Structure 1
Amino acid sequence: MSDSNKSIWWGYLPDEILTHIFTFLPIKSIIICTSVSKTWKSLIQNPTFISTHLHHSHTKSQNLFLLLNISRNDREVNALHKEDDDPDFTEYTSFESPFHAPAPGLHEVVGTCNGLLCLSYSLPNHANEIFLWNPSVRKFLQLPSPNVTFDTHGKSCKSFGFGFDPKTNDYKVVRILSILRSCDDFGMSRSVVDVYSLSTGEWRMLSASASLPPTCAITSRGPPAFANGALHWIAVANDKKRFVLVFDLGDEVFRQILLPELPSYAGKMMWNHVSAYGNSTVGFQRGIGIGQINIWVMKEYGVASSWTKFSHQCPSLGMPSPYPVGFRRNGEVILLNIGLELVSWNPDSQDIKNLEINGYLDTFCGSYVESLVLFDKATKGVVTY
């Protein structure tokens, strides 16, 4: 069959068959297909197809693992690694950020969901530059500035979160802003909660922020865990008790989940952060100067009595100050060692494998899926690079 006859044959395929074929193509091939014809481009940039492709990407066998802010040849890069049935942790691809922080050390990962990354760059007590970025399709969007800033309300401490609201099929960025005289003066603070919606392109100040405990402060290191349609932080009240602060992206309300009560001899252990492992919520405790990690899993979501200690680090690991970064799909934990080397630790066997990757204090890891999110928004401020 000649090339011209092939083109005619493709041209007569029903839209349903074309979109089914597109669903099984790699991202790069799908993007090339948008240049074939206006009809193909319209089919691929249809929000329904983007959603269908995302669902297929979640269910197919290849799973990827994202490492953000790692060091290679004294340069900061980002990488995707193969996960399933690959003990060598083979790199799938690497990519550099299309934008740069205003100054070193001001880069913050807010979160990742459905192939979309949320990043924040900020100067202390000043407005943040917040981006949504899809490296798979080489597009990003800079969010507008929230209404409440340092210039309008003075000094503040802030925490961000990012996730997907399945009830409205929308991506949301949450900012909790504690306005105070100093970042240690929790009792004098008042909180403002803003939510950015990708579908509207605007920030909203929530009246539900009144349900945020007025005398609590977020102590989590790194981004909150996104699981079960909600964001999760470690927070502390005035009585020094720590709990999980939960923000439901659908209902847009806060609630609290108690953390396990610890015996008095565990005073050198402190709650570090919460992480997501599948649909489970996991709490990390880190020893203060004793090289110890406890992992707690909430067996029944939202039920404080279901917290179960998953593992306890043994001194034989030989790491004086390991920091847990996150989970791999196989249940192993990525640790950042005192020399900023990344290692993979199996809590069951206690085996450790050096990944031969150097990180930074703000290195982020998590499961990743390639998607077309943002690919249909070229006329709404999304930048192609």
Structure 2
Amino acid sequence: MAVAESAEAMTIISQMDSSDDDKVRSVNGILCLKQYYRGDDPSKVRFVLWNPATENFVVLPPSPDESEPRSPYLFSYHHFHGFGYDKVRDDIKVFQYVTFDCDGRYDPIFCDPLFVIYSLRSNSWRILDIDMPPYWFRSDAYQGLEVYSDGMCHWLAKYHTDEEFIVSFDLSDEVFFKTPMDENSDFSFSTRYHLVVLNGSIALISSHESDYTTLQISILGELRVRESWIKLFVIGPIPSFDWRPIGVGKKGYIFFRKENDELAWVDLSTQIVEEIGVKGLEGNCNIGTYKESLLPIEGLNN
């Protein structure tokens, strides 16, 4: 496994143009950065694992669909769905859902979607042999519809019947299961929602487009149990709130961007809003928790 020092890795990253597609996630002191190539095939992505404390990087190898030759008229699209820690194997894993499409000027080229997972210990990707309905994968995880908690990744999905539910993926057992949403919730096109981890529990923040400054927060008490959803808070209206929430702090504060670009938080217990003295760009601003780790990335491979 090639572990790069900070200067070398930053040189690699600087060769790719920055855009709002360049994202970052953090687990156990390791950041996962995702960037799209800006070359002949913009559908290709590059993942980099970075430990800021030790200044080590690992540039992930191409996923199976990128390393195998294919028709020049067939394009792959990488839907990042998770990044987390396998506590059984002491491993860091990244997984994504890969779909394919062809140039519309040519006869259709059909290729089944893939679910691929990367292991830091082996420094390699592999295809998961799982028959998964395509509607189980709703959106790129960086859009606020996916969270990681205690060895599992969770994201929002829906059936073709518009029934919403949470899909959970256990990074150790590599199995999926689903939890139905609260049957009293309104998950229509007019409702906006955001998945977060609040005080160790899976939580859903939602608002209606007619009043997106008022937020409803529901907590999931037990995975796989629809009846365990509990409506915890209704807060707002929050002045100058620019949907969507951009993160949740350790104390349960919800961070968001105001219409004047100022970042702020709202205290759920008091509903008091405070600015934090930092500005953020619309559509390209997220806040996450980070816990320093002095373990070199390559230490997991030994």
Contact 1:230 1:248 in 2 (8 A): yes
1:216–1:237 Cα contact (<8 Å) kept: yes
* Bigger relative contact order, structure 1 or 2 (CA pairs below 8 A, ≥6 apart): 1
Aligned letter for 2:168?
Answer: V
- Identify which of 113, 122, 136 aligns with 1:191: 113
2:58 touches 2:297 (CA, 8 Å); kept in 1?
A: no
**Aligned counterpart, 2:18:** 103
Summarize the Cα distance change of 1:337–1:247 in structure 2 as closer, same or farther, 3 Å threshold: same
CA distance in 2, matches of 1:172, 1:128: 16
Task: State which drifts further: 133-142 or 277-286.
Answer: 277-286
- Matching of residue 218 in structure 1 with residue 138 in structure 2: yes
Output the CA distance in 2 between the equivalents of 1:165 and 1:176: 19
Identity %: 23
Query: What secondary structure, in the 3-state scheme, does the structure 2 residue paired with 1:167 have?
Result: coil
Amino acid at match of 2:34: S
1:347 offset after TM fit, Å?
1.9
Q: Distance in 1 between matches of 2:188 and 2:135?
A: 23
Give the 3 Å change call, closer, same or farther, for CA 193–301 of structure 1 in structure 2: same
Aligned counterparts of 1:190 and 1:256: Cα–Cα separation in 2: 22
171 and 335 in structure 1: CA distance in 2 versus 1, 3 angstrom threshold:
same
Partner of 1:132: 49
With over 3 angstroms needed to count, the CA separation of the structure-2 counterparts of 1:280 and 1:114, relative to structure 1, is same
**2: distance between equivalents of 1:228 and 1:337?**
31
Structure 1 residue 205, shift from structure 2 partner: 0.4
1:120 aligns with 2:34: yes
1:123-202 mapped onto 2 (5 Å cutoff): 123=37, 126-149=43-66, 152=70, 153-156=74-77, 158-180=79-101, 190-202=112-124
SS of the aligned residue for 2:167 comes to strand
Task: Tell me which of 122, 125, 141 is aligned to 1:203.
Answer: 125
Secondary structure of 2:176 counterpart: strand
Contact 2:91 2:300 in 1 (8 A): no
CA distance in 2, matches of 1:143, 1:198: 9
Partner residue, 2:264: 343
1:84 alignment counterpart: none
Point out where structure 2 has 5 or more consecutive residues left out of the alignment. Answer: 1-8, 104-109
Q: Which residue of structure 2 lines up, in the alignment, with residue 366 of structure 1?
A: 288
Q: CA, structure 1 residues 370+192, in 2 after alignment: closer, same or farther (shift >3 Å)?
A: same
Q: How much does 1:157 deviate?
A: 5.3
Could you say what secondary structure the match of 1:296 adopts? strand
Secondary structure (helix, strand or coil) at the match of 2:293 reads coil
Instruction: Note if 1:354 corresponds to 2:267.
Output: no
| Cα distance in 2, alignment partners of residues 268 and 238 from structure 1 | 14
Residue by residue, what CA displacement relative to the aligned partner does 1:286-324 show, whole Å, maximum 9, x if unpaired? Answer: 332522222111122442211111211222x21253321
Q: Is residue 2:160 matched to residue 1:238?
A: yes
CA distance, structure 2, for counterparts of residue 378 and residue 161 of structure 1: 19
Does the 8 Å contact 2:153/2:170 carry over to 1?
A: yes
- Partner AA of 2:19 in structure 1: P
Scaled by the length of structure 2, the TM-score of the pair is 0.80
Distance in 2 separating the partners of 1:378 and 1:347 = 38
Q: Alpha-carbon deviation of 1:379?
A: 10
- CA distance in 2 between counterparts of 1:190 and 1:240 reads 23
Give the 3-state SS of the residue equivalent to 1:176 in structure 2: strand
Candidates 249, 253, 266, aligned match of 2:175: 253
Are the equivalent residues in 2 in contact too, given 1:274–1:281 (CA < 8 A)? yes
Amino acid in the other structure paired with 2:50: W
- Local SS of the residue matching 1:215: helix
Decide whether aligned partners of structure 1 residues 116 and 179 sit closer, same or farther in structure 2, where only a CA change above 3 A counts.
Answer: same
Aligned to 2:106: none
Instruction: Name stretches of at least 5 consecutive residues in structure 1 with no aligned partner.
Output: 1-96, 183-187, 381-385
d(CA) in 2 for partners of 1:106, 1:289: 29
Secondary structure, aligned partner of 1:247 = strand
Cα distance in structure 1, aligned partners of 2:26 and 2:63: 20
Tell me the CA shift for residue 377 of structure 1: 4.9
**What displacement does 1:378 show?**
11
Q: Aligned partners of 1:206 and 1:280: how far apart in 2?
A: 28
Task: Return the offset for 1:114.
Answer: 0.8
Asked if 1 retains the 8 angstrom alpha-carbon contact of 2:138 and 2:156, the reply is yes
TM-score by length of 1: 0.64
**Corresponding pairs, count:** 274
TM-fit CA distance, 1:199: 0.4
SS at match of 1:175: strand
- Give yes or no for contact 1:289–1:320 (8 Å, CA) kept in 2: no
Q: CA RMSD in A?
A: 2.8
